[in-house]
A and B are shown apart, each in its own frame.
Chain A
Amino acid sequence: MAAYVHMSFLSNYTVLPKFKGVDDVLALDISSDLPLFGTGFHSFRVINTYSTNTVDHRVHSVQPEVLFPDLGFPLLVVGDLNIHNPLSDPLRHFSTKEISSSTPYFEKAAESGFALLNPPGEYTRFPLVGTARPSVIDLAFANPPLLPLVKSWEASLPSTRSDHVPITITLATPSLKQQPPRPRWADTDWETLGPMIKGLKVPAAPSCPTPPKLDEWMSQSLNRLVALLKENMPVSRPCHHSKPWWTRHLTILHREYHKAAR
């Protein structure tokens, strides 16, 4: 197992190989004094693996626990895992053996919050002999801190004459534009608003107008109604600390995490 790093990269970042005490696994720790990807993280890890079938063909040489650790900083797991699962290749029919040997990996990945980056069904291995089918076995997983930074997964590079296709994974700083305050339509107080809507008068439409005149009348009539609605609508007021990428899903996970910690 080997890893190649561009020289220009080494001038800006510290790259340390880390062997996890297991054959067929290589981890690279990338760190810098400056925050990486515009986030608060100073470290980033890539785990590369080549998991082969053992002699009895029931277990693989690399166990899921080694590949999907719970880390507090970005982690990318890539490699030839030699596993077949409907999650990575939905249109293929799998044997029970294939599913049972691959499920522990996907179970562990889901438990630790990892997401599969491969587009489902996109082959990464084309056997050089015609006896086997193309398959999706070169998998990439990102942990929750890394997920917002993943920009793309592509297999568009020319062939290297290997039976595996070269894959490019691009990471980039996410857009952190603050969202404007949003009206909470579901919390509208219709009892207060009802009499105002009942009393709303729409100006009479011009009889033979020019298109700009009718546009103006339409904007005026609709804006009057929309302004009335928006004035009486409660608005969500996100504070300047709130993160635009935060979701309800993360709130639940956060709550569960603290519950477990207690």
Chain B
Amino acid sequence: MSSFLLTATPQSLWTAKRFPYGRAQPPFPSLPGAETPQQMNEVLLDHFFPPKEPFSPPPRLRPHKSVPPLATDEIAAALSKCSPTSAPGPDGIPYSTWKQVNKINLSIFLQILAPLVLLGYHPASLKSSNSVVLDKPGKTSYKSPSSFRIIVLIQTFSKILERIIAARLLVAARLKGLLHPNQCGSLPGLSTYDGCLTLTKDVKTLQRPRPKVSSLFLEIKAGFDNVDNNTLARILREGGIPPYLVSWVSSFLGEGSCTPVFQGAPGTPASVNVGAPQGSPISPLLFLLYVAPLHFRVPRGLMISYVDDFALTVASLSYRGNILRLQELLEKLERKASRLGICFSVAKTELIHWRTPSQRHSPKCVSPIQIKGDLVHSSNSVRWLGYWFTPALDPAAHFSRRLSLAQGAFALIQRLSPPGAGLPPYLCHRLATSLVAPILLYGADLFTPSVGTTTRLDTFWRKVQRWTTNCFSATPSGILSVESWLPPVSLLITNRQRLTALRVVCSPPSVNPATARLHPSFPSLSVHRAPDFSRAITRGLSSVDLPLHWKTACPVPPLRNHIPVDAVAHRTIRFTSALSKMPMINSHLVCPTPTLPPQSLMHNTYTALKKRVRETLLTEWATRFQTPGYYLHSPAVSPRPFTGLGTFIAGRIH
């Protein structure tokens, strides 16, 4: 094994990862009442694709009027986003083959796809798919179809057309305002961080005048499978989406052929209506458009969603009052959801009562929320979008879990490179930066760890650095981090926070709910802001409770703090002080305005700002974590060329 590891390349590194992981077989569906593979096939199809109202296409297709002609650039842009390692559908043709075909003859795709766009039709032959049955990890029993999930592997050729339509539909939906401003996820330029930052900002702001704030977290049950074709077509039509796109979406969601794939599957295709197939590039967007009508304005509160995860936040003078309000809002939400034919999962519903330090000793509220006859009590910690929230928004709760997960990942990969043998250091560095660091630092953009937590993270990170370099444990930590090309964890966190802050302030406010909550005085290119009800409630408060202006540095001692979005804006001052206005990324998603500078200019400015942040990381690394005088190397984040040589391992030289 060691000889293989020594010759491992970045491409074969993930094969090496399987050595410590082993190769456990996935749980096999053993469903009651399904003895033969054929019966199992039917049970799975019935569960995942319940019969729906059939969609009848028009008897004759006619070319739609004023359809923008399909361009070769659109096809090339769609193909450029396709991963060559993406699993192909029943025909088995990978994207790399289609990319090559398009490079050789640009007109083939145009001749085949242009009539389909013009007629607004998705042909039946492109709707044959393989449905891979995957187990949901951590289930106590695998005797129910609900312990499995289905990933639909659609033909790659079909997905090229889906990407083209998705790009056109997204622009149309943004222009027509069909997506709610508080919808995050599965949209370009948005991430889990934006959802969580918006939530924490509103919670912290609502807490300023000292009321009690509570949140209810909900998840839609089997959302993608339950997208109804006729309802979605009505939503799109009423929202003013061009008829050719509505017609194409209806045709795409119509009946197709699906072959379930599991161990021992008979491999017989069945005619099903799969809803929005999970695995299609357009499905997340269609789902977001489908659930957009669920959103409504919550006075003195917030409703925010990330794909199928919803969070309802309210504030009142008592937690009991919050429970009553949340119950009322939940009933309203359930009524709206039932009209769309979807419902919320009871098992995944969670409730939390937020507390400020001064509310720490106030009596606990034991009243539950009732959902479908079940009672949901408040929790001491809630996991939403991978972030662990506690009532006091304590970062330690989040980081202790991230640390445990990182330790687990590190315990696995550690065996690939025992001292003096195994992987070369540059591959260890690759594993540390691509596998351990993302697990450890997830959420570090939102939460800032305390000194004690940073020390714990640092202790673990030094183990990773030592493993990467094979250096002795007596090596000074400053040298160790430079030798391993892995900056200290506190710098990594600061760098991550700065880069995320830069992305948030440069996003279009009409697209990103966190950007829409920036102070009106922030120099954005767009003046659009979310309704400022939350800051209005801080007017007239005593100076201790009043939020700081975003430009103001935090006073020492911190008698007053920034609200989270203002803290994010403040982080960027150092890098953007020379700019009169912030550049705007993803500006093609907002209504075209003549006042906006050219997109390429804004993109270049944004790239330059990111470069400046990275340079600051290296400067701070060199000044704050100085190495002894005898050590002459300067900090760098990428391995030096000579470290690629398999024969050079620091541990051996030491």
Contact = CB atoms under 8 A, between A and B. Distances in A.
Given A91-B405, A120-B137, A248-B15, A151 B3 contact: no
B646 interface: no
Contact of B97 (A85, A188, A202, A222): A188
Interface string A76-110: 00000000011100111110000100010011001
Interface stretch (B75-83, B111-119, B512-520): B111-119
A175 interface: yes
Nearest to B439: A90
A222 B415 contact: no
Interface stretch (A7-15, A27-35, A64-72, A190-198): A190-198
Interface in A210-259: 210-211, 214-215, 218-219, 221-222, 225-226, 229, 247-249, 252-253, 256, 259
Interface stretch (B98-106, B195-203, B537-545, B573-581): B98-106
Contacts of A94: 404, 407
A99 B94 CA distance: 43
Interface in A130-161: 142, 147-148, 150-156
B625 interface: no
Interface in A109-134: 110, 113-117, 119-122
Contact of B141 (A90, A120, A148, A156): A156
B108 A225 contact: yes
A193 B105 CA distance: 11
B92 A215 contact: no
The winner among A90, A153, A186, A207 for most chain B CB atoms within 10 A is A90
Contacts of A198: 104-105
A214 B61 contact: yes
Interface in B535-561: none
B119 A116 contact: no
A197 B22 contact: no
Contacts of B22: 110, 113-116, 147
Contact of B104 (A175, A183, A197): A197
B408 A90 contact: yes
Contacts of B403: 93
Given A93-B403, A249-B15, A119 B141 contact: no
Contacts of B125: 215, 218-219, 222
A186 B11 CA distance: 15
B415 to A, nearest CB: 6
A230 to B, nearest CB: 9
B57 A211 contact: yes
Contacts of B20: 110
Given A154-B140, A174-B263, A222 B104 contact: no
A249 B23 contact: yes
B123 A219 contact: yes
A136 to B, nearest CB: 11
Contacts of B93: 185, 226, 229
B105 A208 contact: no
B23 A152 contact: no
Nearest to A229: B97
Given A205-B115, A218-B123, A148 B4 contact: no
A128 B24 CA distance: 32
A90 B404 contact: yes
A18 interface: no
A175 B25 contact: no
A123 B58 CA distance: 55
A172 interface: yes
Contacts of A40: none
Given A215-B123, A225-B108, A151 B411 contact: no
B408 A117 contact: no
A182 interface: yes
Interface string B1-31: 1011000000000010011111111011010
Given A194-B104, A219-B123, A175 B263 contact: yes
A126 B30 CA distance: 27
Nearest to A249: B18
B424 to A, nearest CB: 18
B411 A211 contact: no
Chain A contact surface mostly: mixed
Given A153-B27, A198-B105, A225-B101, A119 B138 contact: yes
Interface in B18-67: 18-25, 27-28, 30, 57-63
A134 to B, nearest CB: 13
B126 interface: yes
A170 interface: yes
B356 interface: no
A2 B143 CA distance: 29
Contacts of B401: 91
A209 interface: yes
Contacts of A215: 123-125
Contacts of A190: 100, 104
Contacts of B404: 86, 90-94
B114 to A, nearest CB: 8
Given A93-B403, A116-B22, A119-B138, A110 B108 contact: no
B23 A115 contact: yes
Given A116-B22, A247-B23, A208 B61 contact: yes
Given A120-B137, A151-B30, A170-B30, A214 B405 contact: no
Contacts of A248: 15
B264 interface: yes
B24 A106 contact: no
Nearest to A155: B140
Nearest to B411: A86
Contacts of B126: 218, 222
Interface string A163-185: 00000001010110100001101
A183 B137 contact: no
A106 B21 CA distance: 11
B96 interface: yes
Contacts of B624: none
A226 B138 contact: no
Interface string B208-221: 00000000000000
Given A86-B404, A210-B60, A152 B108 contact: no
A197 B18 contact: no
Contacts of A156: 140-141, 143
Contacts of B15: 248-249, 252
A86 to B, nearest CB: 3
Given A90-B405, A218-B123, A256 B141 contact: no
Contact of A116 (B24, B27, B28, B107): B24
A200 B108 contact: yes
Given A87-B412, A197-B104, A226-B93, 20 more contacts: A87-B408, A91-B401, A99-B411, A113-B22, A115-B22, A115-B23, A120-B138, A142-B24, A147-B23, A147-B25, A172-B28, A183-B92, A185-B94, A185-B97, A202-B112, A209-B60, A211-B121, A218-B112, A222-B112, A226-B91
28 contacts: A86-B405, A86-B408, A86-B411, A87-B412, A93-B404, A116-B22, A117-B24, A119-B137, A119-B139, A142-B24, A148-B25, A154-B143, A172-B28, A174-B25, A174-B263, A175-B264, A193-B104, A197-B101, A200-B108, A202-B107, A208-B61, A209-B60, A214-B61, A222-B157, A225-B108, A252-B15, A253-B1, A256-B1
Which 5 pairs of residues, A with B, have the shortest CB-CB distance?
A115-B22, A86-B408, A205-B115, A156-B141, A90-B408
